[in-house]
Amino acid sequence: MRINPSGNSPDIEDRRGSPGGRGGMRLPGGRMGLGGLVVLLLLSVVFKQDFLSLVGGGGGGGPSLAEGGPVTASPEEERLKGFIGGVLDDAQTMWDTALPEQSGSPYQHARLVLFRDAITSACGFAEAASGPFYCPGDQKVYVDLGFYQELKERFGAPGDFAQAYVLAHEIGHHIQFLLGTESRVRQLQSRNPGQANTLSVAMELQADCYAGVWGHSAARRGILETGDAEEGLNAAAAVGDDRIQRMSGARVKPEGWTHGSADQRSSWFNRGLSGGRMAECDTFRQDVRGEKRDGDVRGQEIP
C-alpha cells in the first residue's frame, strides 16, 4: 500500500505505556495481576457482588487502567503504529465525505486506542487475546499492535492491506453506531434472543462491506498496489467463524457463528471493494448469495 505514515495522528491515544498495558491493574492498594483479576471476576459472578470495587476501596467505579507513561517500543512496532495511523487518517478523511454523500448523515471521527496486553474501556475490561474491538460506549477502536503478528503467523494473513482491513472493519462498526444501526440491532437482539446470532453475523458482515467501501476508494486514488486486494480478501476469510472453529479443533457449528463464515466475510468485503457504495452493504435483507433472508430479519428498520 502507498499510505502516508501518521504515527502522530490526532485521533490516536497511545496507552501502551500504561501500567495495565503489561498485564497489571493499578488499584489504591497497588497492582494486581490478571490472575487475581480473573479470580475476583469469578467471585463477583458466583456471589453476585462487585468484588472488584471492594478491592478498589470503594473509589466509585472500581479499578481502572492508568493512562499515560513513557512508551518503549521497537522500531518495527513504531513503523506499524505509523502505518496504522496513516490508514486511520485516510479512512476517516474518506468517510468525512462519503458518509454524508451516501447516507445524508455527518461523520464524526472515532479515536484509536493503542494498548498492550489489557485495557479498560467504556465497554469494560478486555485482554489483547480478544482481538481488536470497537466500543460504542466511548466511540473508540482498541488495538494491541501485537495482534497483527498473530494475524500473519496464526491466521496466515500477511501483508499491509490485511492489516488495514482489520482497522477498516472496526471503523465500519463506528459507521453503524453513527447511523443508529448498532442500537437498533441490540434492541432487536434483546426482544428476540433466538435471532441474536443471525443479527450479529449481519452486523459483522456489514462492517466487512464498509471496509471494502474504503478499499474501493483507496484503489481509485492509487493507494492500493498489485496483490493488496487479495491480501484483504484473505484476511477477511482468515477470521471466519468456521475457520476459527476448525483451528480450535471444534466441529463447525453455523448456529454458533457471530461473525460469519470465511466465504461470507470475504464475499461481503469484496462486494464493498467492487461497488464502493454503502447501498451494496445491506446484509440485513440479503445473504451472501443475494437471496432474501427470512421474515424475522428481512424488512427490519435497519440501514
Cα separation, 23 vs 289, in Å, equals 43
Mean pLDDT of the 113-133 span: 90
Amino acid 159: pLDDT? 83
pLDDT at 24 over 50: no
Per DSSP, the three-state class of 122 is: coil
pLDDT at 35 over 90: no
Grid cell listed for 97: 465525505
Amino acid 302: pLDDT? 55
pLDDT digits (tens, 9 = 90+) for 234-290: 787 777 776 666 767 766 676 777 888 888 999 999 999 999 999 999 999 854 434
Give percent of the chain with pLDDT exceeding 70. 73
Amino acid 158: pLDDT? 74
Amino acid 93: pLDDT? 97
Cα separation, 71 vs 286, in Å, equals 46
Amino acid 27: pLDDT? 35
pLDDT digits (tens, 9 = 90+) for 150-167: 888 878 877 888 899 999
Q: Are 113 and 13 in contact (CB under 8 A)?
A: yes
Grid cell listed for 113: 486506542
Mean pLDDT of the 191-209 span: 93
Grid cell listed for 140: 473508540
Cα separation, 134 vs 121, in Å, equals 10
Cα separation, 104 vs 65, in Å, equals 38
pLDDT at 230 over 80: yes
Amino acid 269: pLDDT? 93
Mean pLDDT of the 57-86 span: 67
Amino acid 277: pLDDT? 97
pTM over 0.85: no
Mean pLDDT of the 101-118 span: 96
Q: Are 134 and 173 in contact (CB under 8 A)?
A: yes
Q: Among 22-26, 140-144, 219-223, 277-281, whose mean pLDDT is lowest?
A: 22-26
pLDDT, the chain, mean: 79
Question: String of b and e for 247-273 (b: at least 16 CB within 10 Å)?
Answer: eeeeeeeeeebebbbbebbbbbbbbbb
Cα separation, 146 vs 199, in Å, equals 30
Cα separation, 237 vs 81, in Å, equals 24
**How many CA atoms within 13 Å lie on the side-chain side of 91?**
31
Grid cell listed for 25: 491493574
